[in-house]
Amino acid sequence: MTKRPPNQHVTQKEATVKDDVIALYEKSFPKSELQPTAEVKELVASGRMAVHTTRDLDGSLRSFSFISMHDENALKFANLDYIATEQNLRSSGIGSLHAERLSKIVSQENPKFTALTLEMEHPKELGIAAEKLAVRIRRAKFYDRLDAPFTNIKYNIIDFEDPAYRGMAHWRAWVYKPEEFHPVQAARNFMLAEGGYGLKPNSAAVREFDRANNYWANTLGIVGSAARASTIPGQTLVE
């Protein structure tokens, strides 16, 4: 397949989830990480999720993303839930092009949003295999280049199929309104939201999050940042 230069690609929001998007979605992620297709389509139809694509001028799909919309509270933001590029075009610049354009589109289409956030596995997690470590480091550098830095929020990724999983999260954000965006509150809202983890405020994971990020102090304005040494079960991380 011929690789076309980035200026021959169109990135846009689509009203429905097309079959080629579903096909790329299902082959790009492990089955355990996929939301049911019917659920994704319903969320897009209701406006709780949005699908964006980057296509060739002939309409061929090259990259896509699903973002969840978190505008139910005063702090409004979107979260990048899934992003993938056709395998034979990875490292061609199309994925970077899509992510960069996506951030701008989300900001332009949602003027009240403070950021576009994303969760990835932490590149400094202890005890992981060298191959996994290398993948995580490459992914972190990818988002660093795209100006979506780590926010210093500390919590463990929730795995509903494996409650014993304690993998560390790496919470990043393209920040649109620095004076309004509060990463601790946004990450906590994501944990509670139906479009996020859907947890209860008194759940063990949320209480753990509150302790690790000094949640109450942050919400009272006593602490302006979560960047400090924190202990999460199984890990001690100092940034």
Mean pLDDT of 212-237: 50
pLDDT at 225 exceeding the cut of 80: no
**Tens digit of pLDDT for each residue in 148-199?**
999 999 999 988 777 777 789 999 999 999 999 999 999 999 999 988 999 9
Q: Do residues 95 and 150 both lie within one domain?
A: no
List the beta bridge partners of residue 69: 78
* 90 plus 140 within the same structural domain: no
Q: Are residues 232 and 121 part of one domain?
A: yes
Q: Are the beta carbons of 139 and 95 closer than 8 angstroms? A: no
Q: Is residue 238 pLDDT above 50, yes or no?
A: no
Give 103-133 pLDDT, tens digit per residue. 999 999 999 999 999 999 999 888 889 999 9
Q: Phi first, then psi: what are they for 34, rounded to 5°? A: -85, 135
Residue 16 belongs to domain spanning: 1-68+77-102
Same domain, 90 and 139: no
E strand intervals along 155-211: 169-175
97 and 129 assigned to the same domain: no
Same domain, yes or no: 155 and 92: no
Residue 122 forms part of a structural domain: yes
pLDDT digits (tens, 9 = 90+) for 6-43: 578 999 999 999 999 999 999 999 888 899 999 999 99
Coil vs helix vs strand at 74 = coil
Structural domains in the chain (count): 2
CATH number of residue 59's parent domain: 3.40.630.30
Tracing tokens 């009272």 back to the chain, one arrives at 220
In this structure, the answer to whether residues 57 and 157 fall within a common structural domain is: no
Same domain for 234 and 128: yes
Residue 107 included in any domain = no
Q: What is the mean pLDDT of residues 132-136?
A: 92
